[in-house]
Amino acid sequence: MGNAQGLRKLVSLMITSCCGVTDVSLEAIGKVCINLKQMCLRRCCFVSGDGLVAFAKSAGFLECLQLEECNRVTQAGIIGVFSNCGLKSLTLVKCMGVKDISLGAPLSSPCNSLKSLSIRNCPGFGTGSLALVSKLCPQLQHIDLSGLCGITDAGLLPLLQNCEAGLLKLNLSGWLSLTDEIVLALTRLHGATLELLNLDGCRRITDASLVAVADNCVFLSDLDVSRCAITDAGVAALSHAEQLNLQVLSFSGCPGITNKSLTFLKKLGKTLVGLNLQQCNSISTQTVELLMESLWRCDILF
Ligand SMILES: *[C@@H]1O[C@H](CO)[C@@H](O)[C@H](O)[C@H]1NC(C)=O
Ligand SMILES: *[C@@H]1O[C@H](CO)[C@@H](O)[C@H](O)[C@H]1NC(C)=O
């Protein structure tokens, strides 16, 4: 390490496709780069869970950790990282080595610094892992769990209940098993803070969820219910909400929305800057043209 001075100043580091990086070298990086705040490891096939924990301990100022396709990283490794409690943001993408184990072991103290958690397309991350995370990270505000389709309503509920700070952003796109029950719980628990909700592809979500959103969400500005089981009644409920100020709304791939929604969409459109009606096959081009005429400020995709 000839250029140790430079390494000490390093704040952000990204290591891609580097199978030369081992647990030992990773820990060394943590020790030398004492100011490291952001670390991204992509396709680091030799980094294990233990290596990750050792790194997180040695990198004392680490705030943001992102792991993509690091397939030797385990659930224990992820949980161990939370003991490095300066971490504010953790992202896991396609880490296939994470397997769902319900640990009976006593938990470490909570990681109150973690605000943002993103776990995308890690099929092994299941109900047990989510239960652990919900106990360990009570201050989460941004959660992206898109593509974790193996988890049910019951698996998600503890996480929603344990978020003490109030959720701001939640992305559950692709959760096929999700039902209106959990959206009802979500809006009851976090309707006063929620700004973004993505339920794209949650096919069992119906108008009942939109009624709950309309009744409980005060600050929601971005809503995506594409490919859900939404009909005109749901659009009507949203348009009747008193306090909603939606800016971006996506209904793409909702064949239950028809020409009858024109007046409701016009009403919703007063605050919208973006409206996605792609693949809404029951709405005619003529209806969309009428909508475009009255909503000239809003960008409409059809
Ligand atoms: C939600 O997740 C999907 C799938 O990973 C992604 O394409 C989308 O950009 C995310 N949306 C938001 C608002 O984070
Ligand atoms: C929608 O309205 C147009 C005329 O505005 C009509 O031609 C079309 O058949 C209607 N589509 C449906 C699905 O009702």
Residues 65 and 19 occupy one common structural domain:
yes
Q: What is the mean pLDDT of residues 118-133?
A: 90
Do the beta carbons of residue 251 and residue 257 sit within 8 Å? yes
The neighbouring-strand residues paired with 222 are 196, 248
Residue positions counted in the chain: 302
Who wins on pLDDT, 10 or 181? 181
Residues 201 and 132 occupy one common structural domain:
no
Residue-level pLDDT at 224: 98
Is residue 147 situated within a structural domain? no
CATH number at residue 10: 3.80.10.10
Give the chain's mean pLDDT.
91
Judge if the beta carbon of residue 120 lies within 6 A of ligand 1: yes
Distance (Å, whole) CA 179 – CA 186 = 11
| pLDDT tens figures, 10-32 | 888 888 877 777 888 888 888 88
Do the beta carbons of residue 76 and residue 48 sit within 8 Å? no
- Measure CA 198 to chain center: 8
- Cα Rg for the chain, rounded, in angstroms? 22
Judge if the beta carbon of residue 287 lies within 6 A of ligand 1: no
Is residue 161 situated within a structural domain? no
Judge if the beta carbon of residue 281 lies within 6 A of ligand 2: no
CA-nearest of 254, 266, 154, 275 to 207 is: 254
Who wins on pLDDT, 238 or 73? 238
Do the beta carbons of residue 274 and residue 288 sit within 8 Å? no
Pocket test for ligand 1, best of 171, 176, 227 (most atoms within 8 A of CB): 171
Q: What is the mean pLDDT of residues 229-243?
A: 96
Residues 73 and 8 occupy one common structural domain:
yes
Residues 173 and 90 occupy one common structural domain:
no
Q: Say how many domains are in the chain.
A: 2
Distance (Å, whole) CA 180 – CA 191 = 15
Q: Name the residue range of residue 283's domain.
A: 166-302
Residues 194 and 131 occupy one common structural domain:
no
Residues 47 and 172 occupy one common structural domain:
no
Looking at the predicted structure, is the pLDDT value of residue 1 above 50?
A: no
Which atom, in ligand 1's list, is nearest to the CA of 224? 13
Residues 197 and 123 occupy one common structural domain:
no
Phi, psi of 275 (to 5 degrees): -135, 125
Residues 100 and 220 occupy one common structural domain:
no
| pLDDT tens figures, 161-170 | 999 999 999 9
Distance (Å, whole) CA 202 – CA 72 = 30
Residues 132 and 172 occupy one common structural domain:
no
